[in-house]
Amino acid sequence: MLKEYCFCTLAVGKRYRTHARILAKDIQDQAPLVTFVVLTDEPADFEEYSHVIAIKHRLQSVKGYHDKRFVIEKSLERFDTCVFLDSDMRIIGRLPKKLEWLPGITARTGCNILKHNTEIKLRPEFAAIEQVAEKLDINLQETTWFHEFMFVVKKQAGAEQVFLKLWQDISYVFEMRGIYDGEGNVMGLAAAKAGLPIRFDSEDRFPFFKDNIEKIRVKMGQSNIQEKQIYFDMHKDIEYPKRTFIRKIIDKITQKSILYYRFLRLKYILKRNSGIQELF
């Protein structure tokens, strides 16, 4: 198998594992020499795929979004470069025989972090961004936000390890403020402090499907809804399975209990770590 780069994703929970199994089949068909690293709660679900490295994982962040950092960490232990994909993405065409990226982060789209948060008026996020920037002496005029559904990380003389540690610490600031998603903001801040460059590559290297991205393409006349309907339908069936009313209630109570437990665990971690407390 090729050792230059791998694909990777996070797939914890039945819904995400189902998506990731389909993505694993896509990679097997469209890029058979490329490894797919999957952090998941059920590695056995991927045993049939010889190109998949399935690693047992339990979610650590409150809603799981920031666990992407563990995916990157485990992938870079094995490869020089990793391409993170959301588990619900599809690869719908052959990949070029050779793909290369420059050291640092390469994202499909993004902008200055101030512009992004001013335009969509995310006030709680903006307060957290300002707090972190002040504590870590980060120049927000030179800090980048990027969309986190697909991005590449290539090693750069250890700066990627500093980036991952900062991602962890900064995510705690956001989560303690009740901001559980928005990884693009946190990664942008961490990359700025770590000296890890962020570049944009808006020209797609391979054909892919991502539901919200495809909707934009359709609206702009860049995609045909009829041709992509099968992918929309499959995505919808996985995202919204039929459940009884009782099952919905049980699932909602279970989810709230898990989130509360993770939040308490976060408070415990922060109480015991004086280094992280300096960010607050």
The CATH number assigned to the domain holding 272 equals: 3.90.550
Q: What is the dihedral of CA 173, 176, 179, 182, to 10 degrees?
A: 30
Q: What is the mean pLDDT of the chain?
A: 92
Instruction: Return d(Cα 96, Cα 78) in angstroms, integer.
Output: 22
**Predicted local confidence at residue 278, as pLDDT:** 66
With contact defined as beta carbons under 8 Å apart, do 72 and 84 qualify? yes
pLDDT of 2 over the 60 cut: no
The string of pLDDT tens digits covering residues 125-138 is: 888 999 999 999 99
Q: Which helix (H) or strand (E) segment is 223 a member of?
A: none
The pTM assigned to this predicted structure is 0.92
Instruction: Return d(Cα 279, Cα 172) in angstroms, integer.
Output: 9
Residue 222 domain-assigned (yes or no): no
3-state SS, residue 11 = strand
Residue 257 domain-assigned (yes or no): yes
Handedness of CA 68, 120, 136, 157 (dihedral sign): positive
Residue 164 domain-assigned (yes or no): yes
Name the phi and psi angles at 33, rounded to 5: -95, 0
| Nearest CA-CA partner of 96 in 86, 83, 115 | 83
For residue 63, give its domain range: 5-209+253-277
The string of pLDDT tens digits covering residues 21-43 is: 999 999 999 999 999 999 999 99
Instruction: Return d(Cα 150, Cα 173) in angstroms, integer.
Output: 24
Residue 142 domain-assigned (yes or no): yes
Residue 61 domain-assigned (yes or no): yes
CA dist 173 to 133, 135, 260, Å? 11, 11, 17
**Predicted local confidence at residue 74, as pLDDT:** 98
Residue 121 domain-assigned (yes or no): yes
Q: How many domains does the chain have?
A: 1
Residue 160 domain-assigned (yes or no): yes
Better pLDDT: 273 or 234: 234
Average pLDDT of 156-173?
96
The string of pLDDT tens digits covering residues 46-62 is: 999 999 999 999 999 99
Residue 62 domain-assigned (yes or no): yes
Q: Give the contacts of 81 (CB within 8 A, at least 6 positions apart).
A: 4, 5, 6, 101, 152, 153, 154, 155
Owner of token pair 């094995």: 78
